[in-house]
Structure 1
């Protein structure tokens, strides 16, 4: 079975499981609307079409045969370019997916996700190999023959190993040439990432970076796919989640540390983005330990 003959949508696992796979053939306009960061590691592979991919503090133009590696808890978002139709697969791995491997093997397979360059542009030979692996994996997922989950795991390990070796072999890529607008937005994002604990007012940042408020909001959305205030809230809530999991600070202390002006606003924003109140989130995370 070829990728072209697969159903328009395939799913395996869920966000709460060790392995989660999504294949989609999308016709028409599509952009991610929701906040997007997760504990799992992610491989995004584009079979067809073009996409804009924002990750960390940069935006990339993704072509067919491109692979994007998303580290755990990295904020990212895809949005459309001139060609809306696209076909992609997304593979998520929880840390527990590697539990049966040695620490050395785990470190090797996770090497690509910490690399400074999240985009891998495959040559034709590499693309054929990767699409053969993915095609075999997705065919098993579509037909579900006996032992298909074992086959999927084997294909996943092969893909991770290929990606790790490819990352270790490649020479440092030249800096991607950014437009002046992209450079401006990148500088603003880096400022937010460093100063999210402090007040971040649109009018002040606009003056600091010599740009009008309206233009800042417009180009920030165009480049990242996120609204200006939305990105600040995502950055603060992501840090709040970390503190609620890893410290015994009170919820009020967490709120203040992450830059929220008042506790009520913190609770509202946190629940909107995480789906739970801060206290409920902490209780759930403690129950998983």
Structure 2
């Protein structure tokens, strides 16, 4: 039941990582996973599907996926035409900036994705050209590491995020609705789970609502998300618990109940298995773990 939590071996003052032009196959792609860093995935060529939170979208050449932190996601490369993509990972510290009297933030595109559940941007020719060139320059700096390479990478990353922000600002370019690569009944079930994951949700009730057999439901759910219903619900609950632990003053027991856990031992066990630390340690990390 434990998802992969991608680890980053980065300097605390330079929260950045890059996987450049990596060709994915179904055998080599990570299983469902999440991390607290922000992620941009640019598709150079190939095709496949991408499961992000509750959406399942096609991956095509020129697509950009904008993935906020603590978001469940998994790519499904096509076995005959696998995706070659670049993944850029960053922590907020990398793009912190003075306001300069504007409300703009380099992380706005991630906030927009989280709120709208719209993670895919079909890049215009101009944005595709900017990403191809910008990622190539970032890779050159990251691999050779000349003096000032961190500042160069920071500047290049900020320029890419600014370009995404401006591209999304055009109503004609920002998709109003998320596509769904799967049966409509599964789309409805994912939306239902997303609204009710803190309640008791059983496979039987979902199957009756979808009017399909448990075997068929489980098979399609696993094909489209890479996990079973129980695991998906647990991850959604833990993501909410992480947010509440950091953003509220509620007790751990109150947060456990609010997230749908019937007992504290169960909450502690699932939280530590997925996050790697206890809820209390996540809320108040020791100086050595920061």
Instruction: Identify the match of residue 97 of structure 2 among 94, 97, 100.
Output: 100
- In the alignment, the residues of structure 1 paired with residue 142 and residue 49 of structure 2 have an alpha-carbon distance, to the nearest angstrom, of 28
SS in 1 for 2:18: strand
User: Where in structure 2 are the equivalents of 1:193-272 lying within 5 Å?
Assistant: 193-272=194-273
In the superposition, the TM-score normalised over structure 1's length comes to 0.83
- In the alignment, the residues of structure 2 paired with residue 272 and residue 153 of structure 1 have an alpha-carbon distance, to the nearest angstrom, of 34
Segment drifting more, 215-224 vs 92-101: 92-101
Task: Give the deviation of 1:168 after TM superposition.
Answer: 0.6
Name 2:38's counterpart in structure 1. 41
- In the alignment, the residues of structure 1 paired with residue 97 and residue 126 of structure 2 have an alpha-carbon distance, to the nearest angstrom, of 31
Task: Give the deviation of 1:122 after TM superposition.
Answer: 2.2
Once the two structures are superposed, what CA deviation does each residue of 1:9-50 show, in whole Å capped at 9, x if it has no partner?
xx8837995333333524642232243242x32211122332
SS in 1 for 2:284: helix
Name 1:62's counterpart in structure 2. 59
SS in 2 for 1:45: strand
Name 2:108's counterpart in structure 1. 111
- In the alignment, the residues of structure 1 paired with residue 198 and residue 229 of structure 2 have an alpha-carbon distance, to the nearest angstrom, of 16
Segment drifting more, 80-89 vs 15-24: 15-24
Once the two structures are superposed, what CA deviation does each residue of 1:137-177 show, in whole Å capped at 9, x if it has no partner?
10111111222112111111111111111111241536566
Name 2:30's counterpart in structure 1. 32
User: Where in structure 2 are the equivalents of 1:68-147 lying within 5 Å?
Assistant: 68-83=65-80, 85-102=82-99, 107-113=104-110, 114-115=112-113, 116=116, 117-147=118-148
What is the count of residue pairs matched by the alignment?
A: 277
Name 1:4's counterpart in structure 2. none
Instruction: Identify the match of residue 51 of structure 1 among 38, 48, 52.
Output: 48
Q: What residue ranges of structure 2 are gaps of 5+ in the alignment?
A: 1-7
Name 1:6's counterpart in structure 2. none
CA contact (8 A) 1:133 1:155 kept: yes
Query: Cα 1:285–1:49, aligned 2, differ >3 Å: closer, same or farther?
Result: farther
Query: Cα 1:129–1:95, aligned 2, differ >3 Å: closer, same or farther?
Result: closer
- In the alignment, the residues of structure 2 paired with residue 110 and residue 104 of structure 1 have an alpha-carbon distance, to the nearest angstrom, of 17
Task: Give the deviation of 1:178 after TM superposition.
Answer: 4.3
- In the alignment, the residues of structure 2 paired with residue 84 and residue 271 of structure 1 have an alpha-carbon distance, to the nearest angstrom, of 38
Task: Give the deviation of 1:126 after TM superposition.
Answer: 3.1
CA contact (8 A) 1:32 1:79 kept: no
Name 1:7's counterpart in structure 2. none
